[in-house]
Amino acid sequence: MTPPFGTRLRQAMDKRGPLCVGIDPHVALLEAWGLGDDVAGLERFSRTVVEALAGEVAVLKPQSAFFERFGSRGIAVLEQTVADARSAGALVLMDAKRGDIGSTMAAYADAFLAPTSPLFSDAVTVSPYLGFGSLRPAVDAARASGSGLFALALTSNPEGHEVQRAVGEDGLSVAQSVLRQLAAENADASPLGSFGAVVGATLRDIGEDLEINGALLAPGVGAQGATPADLPAVFGAAAANVLPSVSRDVLKHGPSVAALREVSARFVDEVRSAIG
Ligand SMILES: O=C(O)c1cc(=O)[nH]c(=O)n1[C@@H]1O[C@H](COP(=O)(O)O)[C@@H](O)[C@H]1O
């Protein structure tokens, strides 16, 4: 039986360093790498990132949108990318940000969290904005298959606060309510629960309690302006569970495998010296 995702993530972060690298094949990056904006370019790009980093970093996060834009052949590349990255030793976090009514959520859970699915991943990003309870089928599927979820709590983009910082009748912000419900799912887990939150590294003055006994995925490092040195001020006491995520600021160093490894190792060093 596979250990729960939270256990595997803690081990990977301790061994390889707390870093998630996104596989985001933007058109501009395909071009900068000398590749076409086509399925062959997508495949070469993804293979190169996996070759360079799946044996090095704790987590690889393919961004589904960049694969979906090529239709079924793009999804086939995504399937291969997930399988190759997992067999080379990385945990794969599928960035799909799915969210829907519970009965449909069950089908998304089948797509990403059922071991028989061709897109089976170690974890998937989900949106709790149809109500946290609508994610129940995904929570149950993750528990059954030893996989995990990252629910959007405080996103890195400037527009997020209008929804996430809205205050409900109970006096809690929407984000705080999501964080509390994640903490409840992680209550008995050790060393780390499998139900993480997304909290942007770009944010300042977070009033919410981030102690959820789960990982905090922190996108926004690099291209969106945050740096590893910002992490202690953003996350405070919760910094030990932070998994910073970088896409463009690593990927722009390709297609050289050596350069991709070097910049990722540098980010790991910077994160470790910032948050210990
Ligand atoms: O869930 C995410 O990964 C995510 C959440 C969030 O709040 N902000 C955010 O930027 N992301 C994703 O993280 C990646 C950031 O990419 P870079 O800005 O190139 O490092 C993109 O794939 C985004 O979709």
Domain range for residue 24? 5-203+211-228+241-275
Task: Examine residue 114 and state whether it is found in any structural domain, yes or no.
Answer: yes
Give the percent of the chain with pLDDT over 70.
100
Q: Which tens digits make up the pLDDT trace of 49-85?
A: 999 999 999 999 999 999 999 999 999 999 999 999 9
Task: Examine residue 235 and state whether it is found in any structural domain, yes or no.
Answer: no
Q: Which tens digits make up the pLDDT trace of 179-238?
A: 999 999 999 999 999 999 999 999 999 999 999 999 999 999 999 999 999 999 999 999
- Exposure string of 174-207, with b = 16+ CB inside 10 Å and e = fewer, is bbbbbbebbbebbeebeebbbbbbbbbbbbeebe
Q: How far is the CA of 198 from the centre of ligand 1 (A)?
A: 9
Q: Which two tokens stand for residue 15?
A: 């061994």
The rounded mean pLDDT for the chain is 97
The helix/strand/coil state of 123 is strand
Q: How far is the CA of 220 from the centre of ligand 1 (A)?
A: 6
What CATH number did the domain enclosing 88 receive? Answer: 3.20.20.70
Query: Could you give the CA distance from residue 109 to residue 148 in angstroms, rounded to a whole number?
Result: 11
Pocket-testing residue among 20, 95, 199, ligand 1, by greatest number of atoms within 8 A of Cβ: 95
- Strand-pair category, 214-219 with 193-199: parallel
Query: Could you give the CA distance from residue 166 to residue 153 in angstroms, rounded to a whole number?
Result: 12
At 140, the pLDDT band (50, 70, 90 cuts) reads very high
Look at residues 65, 57, 72 and name the one whose alpha carbon lies nearest to residue 15. Answer: 57
Query: Could you give the CA distance from residue 74 to residue 195 in angstroms, rounded to a whole number?
Result: 28
Closest protein CA for atom 7 of ligand 1: 155
At 33, the pLDDT band (50, 70, 90 cuts) reads very high
Ligand 1 is surrounded, with C-beta below 6 A, by: 22, 24, 63, 95, 125, 155-157, 198, 200, 219-220, 222-224, 245-249
- Per-residue model confidence (pLDDT) at position 75: 98
Exposure on the CB side of residue 234, measured as CA atoms within 13 A: 29
Task: Examine residue 107 and state whether it is found in any structural domain, yes or no.
Answer: yes
Q: How far is the CA of 226 from the centre of ligand 1 (A)?
A: 12
Task: Examine residue 234 and state whether it is found in any structural domain, yes or no.
Answer: no
Task: Examine residue 96 and state whether it is found in any structural domain, yes or no.
Answer: yes
Q: How far is the CA of 181 from the centre of ligand 1 (A)?
A: 22
Q: Which two tokens stand for residue 199?
A: 């909290």
Q: Which two tokens stand for residue 3?
A: 């250990």
Atom number of ligand 1 nearest to Cα 223: 18
Task: Examine residue 233 and state whether it is found in any structural domain, yes or no.
Answer: no
ipTM attached to this prediction: 0.99
Closest protein CA for atom 4 of ligand 1: 219
**125 and 95 Cβ atoms separated by less than 8 Å:** yes
Task: Examine residue 236 and state whether it is found in any structural domain, yes or no.
Answer: no
Look at residues 189, 178, 192 and name the one whose alpha carbon lies nearest to residue 126. Answer: 178
- Per-residue model confidence (pLDDT) at position 254: 98
Structural domain count, the chain: 1
The answer to whether the pTM exceeds 0.95 is yes
Pocket-testing residue among 20, 23, 24, 149, ligand 1, by greatest number of atoms within 8 A of Cβ: 24
Question: Which residues belong to the active site?
Answer: 97
- Per-residue model confidence (pLDDT) at position 1: 76
**178 and 189 Cβ atoms separated by less than 8 Å:** no
Neighbouring residues of 16: CB distance < 8 A, sequence distance ≥ 6: 56, 57, 58, 268
Which residues are bridge partners to 98 per DSSP?
126
Which residues are bridge partners to 242 per DSSP?
216
